[in-house]
């Protein structure tokens, strides 16, 4: 899987970081960073939750 963020939609709510802190980080300046662009499958449930719960629908997963 490959994780993508639409920066024009992201509001840096950090909900993604709550669900998958290994993959997402929101810094003190409210910038989102993808720490693992292609996380391992064992993280899929957490990444799926982060994508599903993003209030601005800024996150997507592409399957390889």
pLDDT in tens, 32-44: 999 999 999 999 9
Cα 56 to Cα 36: distance, rounded to the nearest angstrom: 21
Instruction: Give percent of the chain with pLDDT exceeding 70.
Output: 100
Domains of the chain in sequence order: 2-62 (3.30.70.20)
Would you say how long the chain is, in residues? 64
Helix or strand holding residue 45 (H, E)? helix 44-53
pLDDT band at 29 (very low <50, low <70, confident <90, very high): very high
pLDDT at 64 exceeding the cut of 80? no
pTM: 0.91
């Amino acid at each position: 899987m490959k994780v993508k963020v639409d920066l024009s939609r992201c509001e840096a709510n950090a909900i993604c970081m709550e669900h998958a802190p290994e993959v997402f980080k929101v810094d003190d300046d409210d910038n989102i960073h993808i720490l693992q662009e292609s996380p391992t499958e064992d993280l899929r449930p957490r990444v799926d939750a982060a994508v599903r719960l993003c209030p601005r629908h800024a996150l997507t997963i592409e399957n390889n």
